[in-house]
Structure 1
Amino acid sequence: MRFSTLFTALAVVANGVTATDFSSSSITSALSLTAANHYGAPIPPWETGHYPGWYYGQGTPPSGLLCLLEKLLCELLELFPFCLQCPKPPHTPPEYTLTFYNQTCATQAASYMTYGLVDTVADCEAMCNSVAGCTFVNSYHDVNGKNGSTLLTCSLFSTCQTAASNDNCGGQTQPDGSVDFIINSDGYCKKTPTA
């Protein structure tokens, strides 16, 4: 990993980015956003110990997550096509079909690809558009902690799902003693998978 971090650092510098723009840990984090580790989220959201792999939105990213709207990070990721890429506006937006709406459980399926946090359903769809093979998004509020969060969880899958696959209903005890629960779970199937 040292060689790839050094190579990345050299590539960043060669592209005019100063060394102060990226720390070695942020470069290492960016390089870990690959399909091999589910783009930074190797444990699916329905299993104990899970954590999101990325954040895509306009707000301040949650602690420890890379924001896929930061220009310099996006330029870095473009140097490594095997990594998760920042969403780009499509020439023709893919069409999505709503498969379920406002459920209190989230999708749990073997075709899980990754998950992160987003501000809106449109942001979740944009993430699916940027991941090869993504066909289905499940956006929902995972209310975990006494203060809650305005962010949506955005899970991506390679096959379309229906409400029948919604087995993740929360119920996990949180560090603050509260028990999480899921609301506003929506599923959208893309008519044509991302190439």
Structure 2
Amino acid sequence: MRFAPLFAAASLAVSGVTASPLSIDVDISSVIGFDLSASNFYGAPRPPWTPGAHPGWYFGDHPHLFPDLPCLEGLICKLLELIPIKWLHCPRKPPHNPPSDGYQQTFHNLTGATQASDYQTYGLVDTIAQCKAMCDSVEGCKFVNTYHDVNGKGGSTQLTCSLFSSCHDSSDATNTGGQTQPDGSINFITNSDGYCKH
């Protein structure tokens, strides 16, 4: 994570310049080091099925593994809370084994990920519950697709978490990978699961 912009943002917050959503004329992207606005698909303007796509964020328990992604915990969360709603906000940590989380599974263990025009963003998570928590924190999110992008994501073993504004079923799981990676390997999709928010 980039620390210089975060220290600058912390100085803004501590100095008392603002106590509510930022109303001063500041390019907040340059302050926090990332553009996590809705217009930039919360840091992931290229959908995961396109060449050159890169996750926009990480939400999980191992931020040290992702120094180049905004890790949604700690100070960055406090700063993002000061920004108007059209920016990504940190989700609440999901409870262990909730009785009902408000999602219905629409497909399970496919070798294709959802590819659709209502794409909102994607990032990396450790668990399906964390992906659902991300959806709950993104305005208009109705569907999550979690999967392993083998050979993709720079070799990360974390789940890819893609968010969409409409529900999808297995007929939309058409992204089977096939993109050549910088190391020459070809990515492929495993363990793809879809969940629709009730």
Normalising TM by the smaller chain, what interval?
0.7 to 0.9
Equivalent position amino acid for 2:143 in 1:
F
Pick from 41, 45, 48 the counterpart of residue 45 of structure 1.
48
**TM-score, normalised via structure 1 length:** 0.81
* Residue 144 (structure 1) shift: 1.4
Whole-angstrom CA distance in 2 between matches of 1:61 and 1:12: 27
Where in structure 2 are there 5+ consecutive unaligned residues?
A: 1-5, 17-28
Q: Secondary structure at the match of 1:64?
A: coil
The question of whether the paired residues in 2 share the 8 Å contact of 1:41 and 1:52 is answered with yes
Identity %: 57
Matches within 5 A, 1:54-65: 54-59=57-62, 60-65=64-69
CA RMSD of aligned residues (A): 2.6
Whole-angstrom CA distance in 2 between matches of 1:189 and 1:167: 17
Pick from 154, 164, 168 the counterpart of residue 161 of structure 1.
168
> 1:96 maps to what in 2?
103
> 2:33 maps to what in 1?
28
Range with bigger deviation, 97-106 or 148-157: 148-157
> 2:15 maps to what in 1?
14
> 2:147 maps to what in 1?
140
> 2:89 maps to what in 1?
85
Deviation string 1:151-171 (CA, Å, 9 cap, x unpaired) is 000000000000000110001
Range with bigger deviation, 118-127 or 54-63: 54-63
* Residue 11 (structure 1) shift: 3.0
The question of whether the paired residues in 1 share the 8 Å contact of 2:94 and 2:130 is answered with no
Whole-angstrom CA distance in 2 between matches of 1:155 and 1:120: 13
> 2:25 maps to what in 1?
none
Whole-angstrom CA distance in 2 between matches of 1:144 and 1:10: 40
**TM-score, normalised via structure 2 length:** 0.80
* Residue 173 (structure 1) shift: 1.1
Whole-angstrom CA distance in 1 between matches of 2:108 and 2:179: 23
Pick from 119, 124, 130 the counterpart of residue 123 of structure 1.
130
Whole-angstrom CA distance in 1 between matches of 2:134 and 2:124: 10
Whole-angstrom CA distance in 2 between matches of 1:177 and 1:112: 27
Whole-angstrom CA distance in 1 between matches of 2:189 and 2:94: 31
Q: Secondary structure at the match of 1:39?
A: helix
* Residue 43 (structure 1) shift: 0.3
Q: How many residues align?
A: 175
Q: Secondary structure at the match of 2:195?
A: strand
The question of whether the paired residues in 2 share the 8 Å contact of 1:135 and 1:159 is answered with yes
> 1:21 maps to what in 2?
none
Where in structure 1 are there 5+ consecutive unaligned residues?
A: 16-23
The question of whether the paired residues in 2 share the 8 Å contact of 1:9 and 1:27 is answered with no
